[in-house]
Structure 1
Amino acid sequence: MQPLSMSSLELSVGGLGSPVALGPALDLDPLGGSSPFQLPAPVSEMERPMMAEMATRAMDEFIRLAQAGEHLWVKAAGGREVLNVDTYDSIFAKPGSSSFRGPDVHVEGSRDSCLVLTSAIALVDMFMDSSKWTEFFPTIVTRARTIDVLVNGMAGRSESLVLMYEELHVMSPVVPTREFCFLRYCRQIEQGLWAIADVSVDLQRDARYGAPPARSRRLPSGCLIADMSNGYSKVTWVEHMETEDKTPINQLYRDLVLSGAAFGAHRWLAALQRACERHACLVTPPHRDIAGVTLEGKRSMMRLSQRMVGSFCASLSASQQHRWTTLSGPGAGVDDAAGVRVMVHRSTDPGQPSGVVLSAATSIWLPVSCDRVFAFVSDENTRSQWDVLSHGNPVQEVSRIPNGSHPGNSISL
């Protein structure tokens, strides 16, 4: 792919902070219910040209970052690429660069690429649909909404521009979520090559929405998607954000967050690969018979398991809509996450039994590898050793449905 010629940029996207507030402090009252979630008002006609210009500049900067060489990207541990912030600031000088950052602000920039088992146009459709976006990334995106469609675009979504809201999480009640109101701009560069660019917008015109304790903004980020004409697409992902943390990050998660691994490009692509493989398994008949499971039964189980994963991931979020209370241990402190946290909420989701749901969570270090822990909890022969609901009785696996290339990606009945 030939490098694209892009103009020099001076992109300013406003101050740090998300304009969305999700209600007052919460408690354990299961009947109280959280405050209704509110989105900022749709974009006015006067604001649309300004946002269109902002999105165009963000697209140009993102493509330059996606195609830049070693002067902007350096190799970190594990071979991952991280942004050289000093070089970036010198090239893309703008308000909010190094001399304007407060002491609590840290910058995360990462880039990665991989092949995924789906077409480019299917990925574009997923990116531009907030419901599909949440469904594809339940381990990262706890909520997403389309606030306004600024430009519908041409056939195939090229030149589409939407204003979106999303909340990102690490699946732990001790790590604050990150909220963004951002523009998402889609452009077809050439046949089979697409670019999706994101950039935060400053919507503090809606003062009633306030700002959360951990304030973040997404600098020009996004994906280059190249259709490989064999059922695969090559995706180059750039993630670039600034976050202002008013409270220290929990000791157990500090390295994960500050290294950029928690919200970086590598994690997004790993989740995307798994989601695409799972979708391919859903729509493709199995190569061999699965004991005791028909084709339609397989698809029903896969859809059910996806809803289970979505519910599980959402239940672990530190979202301000959730009411976590520490029951035991000093877990509320900065350097200890071992306290048991509980949350009570009403179940109102479609397809879920109505009633009150109790969730409990804790975090611990174990002196073994993550692969060994995964093998232990996924093996039916060892389940009785840790699952109190089995009451010490053996568990028998009736059937196993693969939903990815890795042997561990499967559904067990």
Structure 2
Amino acid sequence: MTPSSVSGAAFDPGAFSATDLIRTKRDGGRLSDAEIDWMIAAYTDGYVADEQMSAMAMAILLRGMSREEISRWTAAMIASGETMDFSSLKTADGARRLTADKHSTGGVGDKITLPLAPLVASYGVPVPQLSGRGLGHTGGTLDKLEAIPGWRASLTNEEMLAQLDSLSAVICAAGAGLAPADKKLYALRDVTGTVEAIPLIASSIMSKKIAEGTDALVLDVKTGSGAFMKTREDSEELARTMVALGTDAGVNTTALITSMETPLGLTAGNGIEVEESLEVLAGGGPADVVELTVELAREMLAGVGVTDVDPAENLRNGRAMDSWKKMIAAQGGDPQAPLPQAAHSHTITAAVGGTVTRLDAMSVGLAAWRLGAGRARKEDTVQAGAGVRMHAKPGDQVAAGQPLFTLLTDDQERIARAEEALNGAVDVDVSGGPAELPPLLQGRITAQDL
């Protein structure tokens, strides 16, 4: 695959003043298309300084942007680099094969990409899943997959296209050429207190996804304790903004709002999440992971016109598992190899018996991170076997002394701090009555809802 380059657009340094544009946005004004194009190109080129873009990011955080401004800002970031082109993927009779992709805003135990990509691919729909690594309490898809012996994340464009053509599924690292403006701005937001700016979050995510060239995109926007967006209101605003960006760019985009008050599944880590994903691909696994995998698969398939199938069927009949094994092997992994095991484990038990009514996702994510499953800085390494196994979820009955968590790590000294993170993470109703559980799927937003 040869990316079509639209990078390095020439700009006139004297066409605008960064200071004037900052003042415009600071005072609640609207930036023109030309001003936005100039700001992004000048910043990518190094003409606009970090401190100036920091001021612009803060002005956007405080003043917001219109739909038209966000759309243009996203398009300008896409234009700062290369774009992917999958139009060469054809059916046997020469028709173009439409691609489908998914993006999650991140959560605890969110291993959904692992069973989802091969499941959708098992219906012949190409899934170019460009993924990332974890930072902080949320895990990264590539970190999980690298627990599989031999598996490699980095593929050339040619390898990626060949794998999509033959197997319909690829999960790999995004190339550095996609939206380089976003890479600079993302790092800047992280150190200037502007991470929460919804226009910048949305354009960051969507510039890379649109540059990937997918035909249909499904967004899994998390809400709750373990999510980046803690409130339903903020999650819906982010979802609407991203659906609008995708729609404006000609990508069939939908979003599901899903709960992240409680971790997904019964594992949070790397290798142990692969293990749980294999259970789902084998037709079993935790009910919440299966539910979300099937719902997202249904949305992805519908986005490219496949509406007459039940995705749960290919989990039951083994076709999704076959797709997984071929995908892993194609990227050098051994799908039969045992997964890494942590050197040390520690069990936390229930102090009282009753019904579990709450399991805080953020606490579990923090514990897994402290055990070595995540990283504090991008250059940190992660432990393949580290993480948290959960033995009870909200709605389950537990007895005093029954295991609630198993902590896994290669460094025994990490256990104490991980245990601290889980203090108060679980509520148990000693009356033993049923727990009221919020639905996993909390909303759906399409272009028609904008």
Structure having the higher strand fraction is: 1
Answer yes or no: same fold by TM over 0.5. Answer: no
Normalised by the size of structure 1, how large is the TM-score? 0.23
Which structure dedicates a bigger proportion of its chain to helix? 2
